[in-house]
Structure 1
Amino acid sequence: MHDFNAWIGKKETVTDFSNLRPAAMMQAILNQPNKQLTELPHLYHWFYFLPVVDGIELAEDGHPKKGNFLPPIPFPKRMWAGGRLEFLHPIGINQNIRRESEITKIELKHGKSGDMYFVTVKHSIFAENTLAIIEEHDIVYREASNQVQTAAAVAPAESQTRNYSYKTQFPVDTVTLFRYSAITFNGHRIHYDRPYAMQKEGYPGLIVHGPLLATLLLHHFTQQYPHKQVTHFEFRAVNPVFDFNEFHICGDIQADQGALWIEKTDGQICMKASVKFKGES
């Protein structure tokens, strides 16, 4: 296997401006009446610092070619695996923002589906030179496969033992996937090119973006508990959600923290998350 240790410690700084438009577009996806925001909701910083790459610089999967900031890992399948975020200060609309990034870890793991590389990038996001968010972003690279990927069925008793403070739905269809890809300038073909997703990457359909699912988790938590101030959020993708799946957005909320998860209607868990907060009930 390749040795990518030389990439650990590599740094990158990107600047941007937190204009209202992408935040308002996400509010439209979520059917939110308030589109004239004064601060970015949690995770909306993902709509900024986007790589603007010419078409000739894209790989077959629609992602920018590797080897610039991220290491040139030869495995073709790459996705968000999860992340950990600490929210220190709000980011206002129309502020100068800066993201300082560093590759902190590269690990090769051996799983049931084959070998995988995990790359962890630490981001420090500043708003007008004030540190606003510290984020650790995990990216997974997998070997190529055109075998249709399936997951084991969930035993009924497993889903019946879960505690729910709330359990709600948000329908996601191909239009939702297109609109989210547009906001994030995400050309990854598994989200809109069904023949590519099925024939090249072995999926049974289009994949719902991991960051979109994470955003739905935190959005619905704040809808249920608008007076709680989120301080930490951690999420991990467990199983993919496809465009034909129905799923629930769930939470089990305690005094100052809670478990959040995405659950398909058959009980299968697709994303696990945790949230810490302070504030009134």
Structure 2
Amino acid sequence: MTGDIHEWVGRKRRVSDEMATPLVRRMAALTDRSDVALDRGAPVPNHWLSILFDDAAPQSQLGRDGHPTKGDFLPPVPLPRRMLGGRRVTYHAAPRVGDTLERETEIAAITPKVGRSGAMIFVMLRHSITGPNGLVAVEEQDTVYLEAKRNAPAPVEKPIVTPNSAWREPWTPSPVVLFRFSALAFNGHRIHYDADYARDVEGYPALIVNGSVSTLFLFEALLRRAPGKQIRHYEARTMQPVFCDRPAFLCGEAPDAEGKQALWVEAADGAMAIRIVTRVG
């Protein structure tokens, strides 16, 4: 089967979307921002692009997990569970209120691996986003497909201990935050809103916080300390899930000599769940 799915590498798809005023207004409400203008042509925080370009698949074409079924654009990976593994994003220009944007997505790589929890397949998508004035952003996104959850307990992995932070904010993501973000992004993945499904089918103890939600709130915390700045580039890696309604911390280091700084979500046990290296400007 893996030999077949490698034939999907190189496939491309184009989707258009609009940075519409209602979306910007709702993101400002979600993030408690009062400094973002809603006038047509006003710049929007770069990282708010994460709510655009939903799949909007017909209801009849959704899988059990709430995602579009595989085999249309996404390759027919023979593993049932999926999660975001990481992403790398470079912003070239700020999106503006009212801009019509286009995203070209290419299946850049498909890589089977075997980890401590079983077989895995990594699918890397490369997104190029353009607007009225040219290139806006380029993103590489790694999606990890996993085996069905086993009845046996998962192997215990050593937690990644967090470094000392320059700032640290308590954060307990709520079901309302997850719902509002999923509604904005039209994300139907049930692990973010259906607690019974997340627990009984995928084997998680609680709702999973979207990786994009953790990233969003890390960036918002950073930009409160750097007013007037924008995220210019970042690389994110997911080490372990962040669970809904469980205390966590948004943390960051001071910038280094090159202007880079590490951000992370710290779980209640002190382990690092998501790590981001970013640059603002």
TM-score, normalised by the number of residues in structure 2:
0.91
- 1:171 aligned onto 2:175: no
Inter-partner Cα distance in structure 1 for 2:133 and 2:33 = 30
CA distance in 2, matches of 1:132, 1:117: 29
Query: Residue 103 in 1 paired to residue 100 in 2?
Result: no
Distance (whole Å) between structure 1 residues aligned to residue 2 and residue 192 of structure 2: 29
Aligned to 1:56: 60
Amino acid of the residue matched to residue 260 of structure 2?
Answer: Q
SS in 2 for 1:220: helix
Mapped to 1, the partners of 2:55 and 2:236 lie a distance apart of 23
- 2:71 is the alignment partner of 1:67: yes
Q: Quote how far apart the aligned CAs of 1:152 are.
A: 5.0
Question: Does the CA contact (< 8 Å) of 1:146 and 1:201 recur in 2?
Answer: no
Secondary structure, counterpart of 2:32 in structure 1: coil
**What SS does structure 2 have at the residue aligned with 1:241?**
coil
Q: What corresponds to 2:2 in structure 1?
A: 2
Deviations 1:177-235 (A, max 9, x none): 11111111111111111111111111011111111111112221111112444321110
Work out whether residues 12 and 101 of structure 1, in 8 Å CA contact, stay in contact via their aligned partners in 2. yes
Asked if 2 retains the 8 angstrom alpha-carbon contact of 1:28 and 1:35, the reply is no
What is the identity percentage for the equivalent residue pairs of Structure 1 and Structure 2?
Answer: 35
Aligned-partner Cα distance in 1 for 2:68–2:133: 29
> 2:119 is paired with a residue of what secondary structure?
strand
Matches within 5 A, 1:43-192: 43-147=47-151, 158-159=161-162, 162-192=163-193
Partner of 1:199: 200
What is the total number of aligned residue pairs between the two structures? 274
Name the structure 1 match of 2:211. 210
Candidates 235, 248, 269, aligned match of 1:266: 269
* Separation of aligned partners in 2, 1:146 and 1:33: 46
Q: Structure 2: which amino acid aligns with 1:2?
A: T
Q: 1:110 to 1:246 in 2, by over 3 A?
A: same
Quickly say closer, same or farther: Cα 1:150–1:198, change in 2 above 3 A: farther
Q: Structure 1 unaligned runs (5+)?
A: none
Task: Give the Cα separation in 2 of the matches to 1:199 and 1:231.
Answer: 40
C-alpha displacement at 1:90, in angstroms?
0.9
Q: What RMSD over aligned residues (CA atoms) do the two structures have, in Å? A: 1.9
Q: Secondary structure at the match of 1:187?
A: coil
> How far apart in 1 are the matches of 2:244 and 2:178?
8
Quick one: distance in 1 between partners of 2:88 and 2:237?
Answer: 9
Matched, 1:42 2:43: no
Unaligned runs of 5+ in 2: none
Could you tell me how far apart the structure 1 residues matched to 2:165 and 2:19 are? Answer: 35
Query: Residue 271 of structure 1: SS of its match in structure 2?
Result: strand
Q: CA deviation at 1:107?
A: 0.3
Q: Which residue of 2 aligns with 1:25?
A: 26
CA displacement 1:32-74 (0-9 Å, x = unmatched): 2245342221221122221222211110001011111110112
